[in-house]
Amino acid sequence: MDCIHLTNIRAYGYTGALPEEQILGQWFEVDLTLWIDLSHAGQSDRLADTLNYCDVIEVVQHLIKTSRLVLLERLATLIADSILTFDRVTQVRVQLIKPAAPIPDFSGKITIDLTRSQSARR
């Protein structure tokens, strides 16, 4: 199956377990892998025969900006579920990254990595 990769989708949001994350917010990054049949678009050269990346990016950024959640796992699930509403997407991998978690003496990133498919939604 063919894939489209969208990386470094960034938005400022208010998801987190700590009170300051809910008030001050922070940056989030999302990497997506979308499983989609690209054979028709590869022949036709028409945007109508593929997925408009701008629409996907807009959905992800909107969810990050407007969701007020405690768990990253929930936000990643909402993103996956929203992407699966696009007609041609059969499976999605979401990597939701918190690049600067407010954890003392920790300078790494936190990443939630999940894969969901249309067949699991039915």
109 among known catalytic residues: no
Closest CA to 60 of 47, 76, 37: 76
What length does the chain have?
Answer: 122
Which position among 51, 79, 80, 98 bears the catalytic label? 98
Q: Which residues are catalytic?
A: 98
